[in-house]
């Protein structure tokens, strides 16, 4: 804890120190809160499940990348897990908190290439829990924000598997904080909206009017592939072409890159900088504040309009 305590987040903490720190904090928190052991606290969806030797699933938000952004509860559950089922947004640093003996199942999904179809993931969770083990389903950010957490839980409920949900810091909050972009600000944005840039083929189109409202910050997840269309759509529906916009790649990690510009200039700048997922698009006047408020800058790109 000594030398790392002054290090920048996500930069100086060694895995061993991090695991030790997490154990220490979890132990302190348990003392303060007088928590019973985790095993007694899963939901009561299946009261007889424990008796029947059925395990349980914790749906846990892993936050946006920096392992120090995990909740204490997430850190404890990861450390206690017998099986970890995780996807590609969960960083290696977060996984170092798991016991060496834990079974790790990677079910990662990258844009366009699904390692396991969602239905198979749901069935896998059920099978693992039915084998009597304590399963942690780890998801990047928050499991209920563009994380399909609800779909997984519906199947667990149907199968009578006990579960609990641990919220995580969603990318919008984590990434904006590390990029120095306050999502709301009394002078600039009275509301904030989170939307997906992935529109299902054949599904409904984006609600452009809602996304392009003035005095609002619009945060778009999974927007890299459609960046040009998204920026053009916002302009077409009333946002000024000079509205500040940023694309933040791998936010909160050592690989964080921030590309700033305007709705008109950002698509070209992002192409020039070869920004790849995971990246978050943030649109609104608040983005301009990052000039003064950015504090975490492992390799900030100065690509400005």
Using CB under 6 A, list all residues that contact ligand SAH.
64-65, 89, 139-142, 145-147, 170-171, 175, 221-222, 248, 250-252, 277-280
Helices (H) and strands (E) in the chain, counts: 10, 12
| CB 170, min distance to ligand SAH, A | 3
Q: Is 51 a catalytic residue?
A: no
d(CA 98, CA 174): 22
Backbone phi, psi, residue 24, to 5°? -60, -45
Rounded to the nearest whole angstrom, what is the least distance from the CB of residue 175 to ligand SAH in the complex?
5
- How far is the C-alpha of 216 from the C-alpha of 191, rounded, in Å? 5
Nearer to ligand SAH, 174 or 244 (CB): 174
87 is catalytic: yes
The smaller minimum CB distance to ligand SAH, of residues 64 and 244, is found at 64
| Closer residue to ligand SAH, CB minimum distance, 54 or 175 | 175
Q: Which of 87, 93, 139, 142 does the annotation list as catalytic?
A: 87
**Active-site pick, 109, 155, 229, 276:** 109
Q: How far is the CB of 22 from ligand SAH (least distance, A)?
A: 20
In the numeric block, the tokens 């120190």 are attached to 17
Distance of CA 30 to the CA centre of its chain: 25
C-beta of 252 vs 262, nearer to ligand SAH? 252
As measured in angstroms, the least distance from the Cβ of 177 to ligand SAH is: 12
Whether the Cβ atoms of residue 176 and residue 220 lie closer than 8 Å to each other: no
**Residues contacting residue 240 through CB under 8 Å, at least 6 positions apart:** 263
Provide the CA 156 distance to its chain's centre, in angstroms: 22
Q: How many CA atoms lie within 13 A of 64 on its CB side?
A: 27
Query: Rounded to whole angstroms, how far apart are CA atoms 241 and 232?
Result: 9
Structure tokens at 203: 């599904």
With contact defined as beta carbons under 8 Å apart, do 84 and 123 qualify?
A: no
Q: Report the nearest approach of ligand SAH to the CB of residue 54 (Å).
A: 27
Measured from the CB atom, is 42 or 247 closer to ligand SAH? 247
Residue whose C-beta lies closest to ligand SAH? 141
Q: Is 118 helix (H, G, I), strand (E, B) or coil?
A: helix
Residues known to be catalytic:
87, 109
């Amino acid at each position: 804890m000594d030398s790392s305590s002054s290090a920048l987040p996500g930069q100086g903490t060694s895995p061993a120190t991090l695991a030790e720190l997490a154990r220490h904090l979890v132990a302190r928190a348990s003392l303060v809160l007088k928590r019973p052991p985790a095993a007694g606290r899963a939901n009561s969806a299946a009261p007889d499940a424990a008796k029947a030797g059925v395990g349980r699933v914790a749906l846990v938000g892993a936050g946006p990348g920096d392992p120090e952004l995990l909740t204490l509860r997430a850190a404890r559950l990861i450390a206690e897990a017998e099986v970890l089922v995780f996807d590609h947004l969960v960083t290696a640093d977060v996984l170092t908190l798991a016991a060496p003996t834990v079974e790790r199942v990677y079910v990662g999904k990258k844009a366009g290439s699904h390692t396991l179809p969602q239905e198979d993931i749901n069935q896998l969770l059920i099978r693992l829990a039915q084998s009597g083990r304590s399963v942690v389903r780890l998801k990047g950010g928050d499991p209920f924000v563009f994380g399909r957490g609800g779909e997984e839980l519906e199947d667990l409920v149907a199968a009578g598997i006990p579960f609990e949900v641990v919220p995580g810091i969603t990318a919008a909050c984590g990434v904006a904080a590390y990029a120095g972009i306050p999502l709301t600000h009394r002078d600039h944005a009275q509301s904030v909206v989170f939307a997906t840039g992935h529109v299902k083929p054949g599904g409904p189109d984006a609600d452009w009017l809602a996304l392009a409202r003035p005095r609002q910050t619009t945060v778009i997840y999974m927007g890299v592939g459609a960046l040009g269309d998204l920026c053009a759509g916002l302009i077409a529906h009333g946002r000024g072409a000079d509205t500040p916009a940023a694309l933040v790649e791998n936010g909160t990690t050592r690989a964080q890159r921030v590309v700033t510009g305007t709705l008109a200039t950002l698509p070209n700048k992002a192409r020039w900088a070869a920004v790849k997922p995971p990246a978050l698009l943030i649109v609104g006047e608040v983005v301009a504040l990052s000039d003064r408020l950015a504090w975490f800058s492992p390799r900030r790109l100065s690509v400005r309009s």
